[in-house]
C-alpha cells in the first residue's frame, strides 16, 4: 500500500472535526475528597525527575524484596522496571489487605437475570477461592511459574479468581475475550504455547443463556492445526453441577472445575515471589498484519502503574464502590476491574450481561442498589444508553462522584449527556486515552486538578511525555491545528515488555519509525509510536483522531482489516476482499466489506451470508460487518493494488477524488450506484 492510500483509508481521515469546546470545572465537593489535589505532581513526574519519579507508584505496592534499579535500559527498547525487586500480584491484590479489610467486599458480581441474587465476595473469601484454585492448577494441572494458560471466559466471578490464582503461581495468563470465536481462541492458544485451557460452560447475555463450551472444540482443533496440543481443559460451570453436559467432554482431557475443587478445600498456596520483570499476562490485540500480537505485560511495573493510575486518575479509595462496565477480556478489564482496583483494596463491581437488559435503566438500577460512586464505561455504551433511554438516569437515585470514558473518542454532544444526565452535573469525567500495549492511561485530565474539555482526552497523565511527529520526524507544535502521529518520548512502568515470541515485530511496529539510533541504550532515542493520529491544542490538551494503520476501532475494540479480509477469503467463492471503516452512530466505526467473486460464480444473498458467517466463526460476532457488497471488480491501481481509499469514500458518502488514473475507473461509478443507490 502506498503512503497516500495508507493515510487516506485510515480512521483518522474520517474523524469528525469537532469544535473547540468550553471547559468544565471539577466540583468543590469532588476536590475536597480526592486522592490527588496537588498540582505539584506534574512537576514531580517531569522529565527532569524521570525515571525516579515512578518510585511513588512502586511504593503503593508491597515488595518481598525492594528493587535497586528504577529503569534498566541495557536491552533497549525492552525496558526493565524496578530491577532487583521481588513481588507477587496476587499477594498485593488480596493477602496484604486481609488484616484490615478481610470482611470488605472485594468484588460484587451482578448476574444478568434480574431474579438471581448478586454475589458478594469479601477479601477473605477471594483469598480462600484463589488459594484453592491455585492449588488445583499446581497439583492437578501441573502448572508452574512461567507456563502460559489460555482463559476463554465471560464476565463471571470465576474469571478474576482464575487470573489471580495464576498470578499467585507466576503462571502467565492469556485471557481471550469471551465474544471471540473458538478459532480466534485457538490461534491464541497456539501462539502462547498454552497446554492448559480454562473455559466456561455458559453465561447469560441479552436474555439468553449462551452455550460457551461449544467454542472449545474448534479452539482446540485450531490450536492443534498450529502445532499446539492441549492436554487439559478445565471448565467452570455457570450453575455448578446443574448442567453437566458431560457428553461434550473428552475423557482424560476435559474436567469440570466443580468436580475437582472439593479435593482442594482449605488448601493454601504461598504466593511465589517473582522478579519485578516476570511476565504477569499476555493480552492479544490486532495489528496491521494477519496474526494478533500477544502483548506481554510485566508484574512489578504493570501493577505499580495500574495501582498509581487507579488511585490518582480513577480516584479510587477503599471505601468507594467502583464499577467498570468493560469486559475483563480486554485490557481495560485487566487493569481497571481486576489489578488496579484490587491492589488498592477497592470494591469492584462486575456485571455479567448486556447494559440494556432487560431495558436501558439496568445500569442505573444497579448503581442505585449498590450505591456505586465511580462509574467507568466506553463511549459506545454511553451512545447506546443515551439512544435507548435518554431519561432513565434521572429516574434513579444514585450519585456518582467520578465517571470515566475509555477506548474511543467521545463526541462532545454525547459527553454532555454523560455529564448532565448520567453524572447529574456533579460527577467529574475523565476521558482516558491508552492502548492494550500501554497497560494503563496515557492521557487524561487529573480529575481534581484539570478542567474537563469535551471531545479531548486532556493532557498526558503524570510521567507520560507525548510528542506529535509528522512523517519526517518533525515535531508538530501545539496550537498549530495540524494532526500528526502521537508518540511518547519516554518509557513508563505500565508499558508492555515485548510481543510474545516476536521481539522484531515489537521493535519494528512501535519503535523503528522514530528511532534515532538502533544501537542506542538511551531511552531518549526510542520514542514509542502509538499508531494514532492526534492534535494538540494550545492548552496542551490532546484530541485523538483515530488509527493511522489498518486497524478499525469497532465499539472500542480493535480489529485488523487484514484479519477481516483473510476471514472473507475462507469462503471458496470469494476471490478478493477489501474491508473499510464505516462511520456508525453507536459503535463509532463498523467494517464494510467489498468482495469480488471467482470467475463463473453468480452473486447471491447466500454468498453474502457466507461471508458474514465466516467472519463470525473466524473472529467473532463483534466483527460482524454492516454491509457485504459483491462487486464485479475492485477499483485498482495500474499496478494491481486495491484502492481501499476509494471504497472507504464510497461507503462513507464522501468525495471519491480523482480516479481517472485507476486501471478500471468505470467500476467506481458502478460500485457507487450499488452502495449509494444513485
Binders of ligand WTA in range 264-283 (CB under 6 A): none
Q: Is 285 in the site for ligand WTA (CB under 6 A)?
A: yes
Tell me the closest approach of the beta carbon of residue 466 to ligand WTA, in angstroms: 13
Q: Is 15 in the site for ligand WTA (CB under 6 A)?
A: no
**Which cell numbers hold the place of 97?**
489487605
Q: With respect to ligand WTA, which residue has the nearer C-beta, 9 or 228?
A: 9
What does DSSP assign to residue 422?
A: I
**What contacts 28, CB < 8 A, 6 or more positions away?**
none
Q: Is 377 in the site for ligand WTA (CB under 6 A)?
A: no
Q: Which of 186, 407, 423, 527 lies at the binding interface for ligand WTA (CB under 6 A)?
A: 407
Q: Is 553 in the site for ligand WTA (CB under 6 A)?
A: yes
Q: Is 111 in the site for ligand WTA (CB under 6 A)?
A: no
Q: With respect to ligand WTA, which residue has the nearer C-beta, 433 or 629?
A: 433
Q: What are the CA-CA distances from residue 279 to residues 87, 89, 154, 231, 290 (Å)? A: 12, 11, 23, 23, 24
DSSP structure string for 271-328: PPPEETTSEEEEEEE--SSSSPEEEEEESHHHHHHHHHHHHHTS---TT-EEEE-S-T
Q: Is 158 in the site for ligand WTA (CB under 6 A)?
A: no
CB hemisphere CA count around 369 (13 angstroms): 13
Q: With respect to ligand WTA, which residue has the nearer C-beta, 294 or 409?
A: 409
Q: With respect to ligand WTA, which residue has the nearer C-beta, 10 or 237?
A: 10
Q: Which of 432, 515, 566, 618 lies at the binding interface for ligand WTA (CB under 6 A)?
A: 432
Cβ atoms within 10 Å of 144's Cβ, excluding its own? 12
Q: With respect to ligand WTA, which residue has the nearer C-beta, 361 or 458?
A: 458
**Which cell numbers hold the place of 292?**
494478533
Question: What is the rounded distance in angstroms from the CA atom of residue 398 to the CA atom of residue 368?
Answer: 4
Tell me the closest approach of the beta carbon of residue 525 to ligand WTA, in angstroms: 23
Cis status of the peptide bond prior to 51, with omega within 30 of 0: yes
Q: Is 331 in the site for ligand WTA (CB under 6 A)?
A: yes
Tell me the closest approach of the beta carbon of residue 163 to ligand WTA, in angstroms: 18
Binders of ligand WTA in range 194-223 (CB under 6 A): none
Q: Which of 435, 509, 566, 618 lies at the binding interface for ligand WTA (CB under 6 A)?
A: 435
Q: Is 147 in the site for ligand WTA (CB under 6 A)?
A: no
Q: Which of 95, 187, 392, 408 lies at the binding interface for ligand WTA (CB under 6 A)?
A: 408
Q: What are the CA-CA distances from residue 190 to residues 66, 81, 172 (Å)? A: 36, 29, 14
Q: Which of 61, 172, 544, 582 lies at the binding interface for ligand WTA (CB under 6 A)?
A: 544
Alpha helix (H) residue ranges in 59-195: 89-93, 98-101, 123-139, 158-169, 182-192
Q: Segment contacting ligand WTA (CB under 6 A): 79-87, 274-282, 400-408, 578-586?
A: 400-408
Q: Segment contacting ligand WTA (CB under 6 A): 151-159, 247-255, 426-434, 663-671?
A: 426-434
CA-based R_g, the chain, Å = 24
Q: Is 431 in the site for ligand WTA (CB under 6 A)?
A: yes
Question: What is the rounded distance in angstroms from the CA atom of residue 15 to the CA atom of residue 18?
Answer: 9
Element (H, E) at 239: none
Binders of ligand WTA in range 504-533 (CB under 6 A): 530-532
Q: What are the CA-CA distances from residue 579 to residues 24, 472, 666, 672 (Å)? A: 39, 28, 20, 16
- Paired with 198 in beta bridges are 151, 234
Q: Is 536 in the site for ligand WTA (CB under 6 A)?
A: no
Q: Segment contacting ligand WTA (CB under 6 A): 348-356, 425-433, 472-480, 668-676?
A: 425-433
* Binding site residues, ligand WTA, CB under 6 A: 285, 330-332, 406-409, 431-436, 457, 530-532, 544, 546-547, 553, 558
Amino acid at each position: 500500500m502506498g503512503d497516500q492510500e495508507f493515510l487516506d483509508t485510515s480512521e483518522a481521515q474520517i474523524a469528525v472535526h469537532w469544535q473547540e469546546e468550553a471547559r468544565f470545572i471539577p466540583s468543590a465537593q469532588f476536590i475536597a475528597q480526592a486522592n490527588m489535589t496537588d498540582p505539584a505532581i506534574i512537576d514531580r513526574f517531569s522529565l527532569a525527575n524521570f525515571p525516579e519519579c515512578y518510585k511513588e507508584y512502586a511504593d503503593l505496592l508491597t515488595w518481598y524484596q525492594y528493587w535497586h534499579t528504577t529503569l534498566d535500559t541495557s536491552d533497549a527498547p525492552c525496558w526493565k522496571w524496578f530491577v532487583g525487586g521481588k513481588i507477587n500480584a496476587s499477594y498485593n491484590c488480596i493477602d496484604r489487605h486481609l488484616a484490615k479489610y478481610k470482611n470488605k467486599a472485594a468484588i460484587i458480581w451482578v448476574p444478568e437475570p434480574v431474579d438471581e441474587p448478586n454475589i458478594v465476595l469479601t477479601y477473605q473469601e477471594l483469598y480462600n477461592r484463589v488459594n484453592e484454585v491455585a492449588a488445583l492448577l499446581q497439583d492437578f494441572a501441573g502448572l508452574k511459574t512461567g507456563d502460559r494458560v489460555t482463559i476463554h471466559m465471560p464476565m463471571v466471578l470465576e474469571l478474576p479468581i482464575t487470573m489471580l490464582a495464576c498470578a499467585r503461581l507466576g503462571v502467565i495468563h492469556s485471557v481471550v475475550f469471551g465474544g471471540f470465536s473458538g478459532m480466534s481462541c485457538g490461534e491464541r492458544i497456539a501462539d502462547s504455547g498454552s497446554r492448559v485451557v480454562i473455559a466456561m460452560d455458559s453465561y447469560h447475555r441479552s436474555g439468553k443463556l449462551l452455550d460457551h463450551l461449544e467454542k472449545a472444540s474448534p479452539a482446540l482443533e485450531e490450536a492443534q492445526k498450529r502445532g499446539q496440543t492441549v492436554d487439559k481443559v478445565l471448565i467452570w460451570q455457570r450453575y455448578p453441577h446443574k448442567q453437566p453436559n458431560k457428553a461434550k467432554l473428552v475423557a482424560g482431557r476435559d474436567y469440570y472445575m466443580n468436580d475437582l475443587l472439593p479435593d482442594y478445600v482449605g488448601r493454601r498456596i504461598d504466593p511465589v515471589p517473582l522478579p519485578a520483570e516476570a511476565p504477569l499476562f499476555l493480552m492479544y490485540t490486532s495489528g496491521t498484519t494477519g496474526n494478533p500480537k500477544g502483548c506481554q505485560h510485566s508484574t512489578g511495573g504493570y501493577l505499580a502503574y495500574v495501582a498509581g493510575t487507579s488511585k490518582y486518575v480513577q480516584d479510587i479509595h477503599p471505601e468507594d464502590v467502583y464499577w467498570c462496565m468493560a469486559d475483563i477480556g480486554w485490557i481495560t478489564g485487566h487493569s481497571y476491574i481486576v489489578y488496579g482496583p484490587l491492589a488498592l483494596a477497592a470494591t469492584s463491581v462486575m456485571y455479567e450481561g448486556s447494559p440494556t437488559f432487560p431495558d436501558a435503566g439496568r445500569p442505573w438500577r444497579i448503581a442505585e442498589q449498590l450505591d456505586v460512586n465511580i462509574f467507568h464505561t466506553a463511549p459506545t455504551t454511553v451512545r447506546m444508553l443515551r439512544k435507548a433511554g435518554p431519561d432513565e438516569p434521572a429516574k434513579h437515585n444514585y450519585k456518582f462522584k467520578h465517571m470515566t470514558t475509555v477506548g474511543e473518542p467521545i463526541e462532545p454532544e454525547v459527553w454532555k449527556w454523560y455529564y448532565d444526565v448520567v453524572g447529574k452535573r456533579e460527577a467529574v469525567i475523565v476521558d482516558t486515552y491508552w492502548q492494550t500495549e500501554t497497560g494503563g492511561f496515557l492521557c487524561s485530565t487529573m480529575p481534581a486538578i484539570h478542567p474537563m474539555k469535551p471531545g479531548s482526552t486532556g493532557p498526558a497523565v503524570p510521567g507520560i511525555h507525548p510528542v506529535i511527529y509528522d512523517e519526517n520526524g518533525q515535531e508538530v507544535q501545539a496550537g498549530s491545528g495540524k494532526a500528526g502521529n502521537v508518540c511518547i518520548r519516554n518509557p513508563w512502568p505500565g508499558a508492555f515488555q515485548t510481543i510474545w515470541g516476536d521481539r522484531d515485530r515489537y521493535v519494528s511496529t512501535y519503535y523503528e519509525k522514530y528511532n534515532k539510533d538502533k544501537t542506542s541504550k538511551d531511552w531518549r532515542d526510542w520514542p514509542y509510536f502509538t499508531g494514532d493520529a492526534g492534535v494538540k491544542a494550545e492548552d496542551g490538551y490532546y484530541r485523538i483522531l483515530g488509527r493511522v494503520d489498518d486497524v478499525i476501532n469497532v465499539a472500542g475494540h480493535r480489529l485488523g482489516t487484514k484479519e477481516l479480509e483473510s476471514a472473507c477469503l475462507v469462503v471458496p467463492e470469494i476471490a478478493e476482499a477489501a474491508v473499510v471503516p464505516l462511520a456508525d452512530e453507536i459503535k463509532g466505526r463498523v467494517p464494510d466489506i467489498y468482495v469480488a467473486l471467482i470467475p463463473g460464480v453468480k452473486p447471491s444473498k447466500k454468498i453474502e451470508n457466507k461471508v458474514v458467517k465466516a467472519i463470525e466463526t473466524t473472529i467473532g460476532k463483534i466483527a460482524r460487518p454492516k454491509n457485504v457488497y459483491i462487486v464485479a471488480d475492485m477499483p485498482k491501481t495500474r499496478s494491481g493494488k486495491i484502492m481501499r481509499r476509494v471504497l472507504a469514500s464510497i461507503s462513507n458518502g464522501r468525495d471519491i477524488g480523482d480516479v481517472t488514473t485507476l486501471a478500471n475507473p468505470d467500476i467506481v461509478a458502478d460500485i457507487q450506484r450499488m452502495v449509494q443507490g444513485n
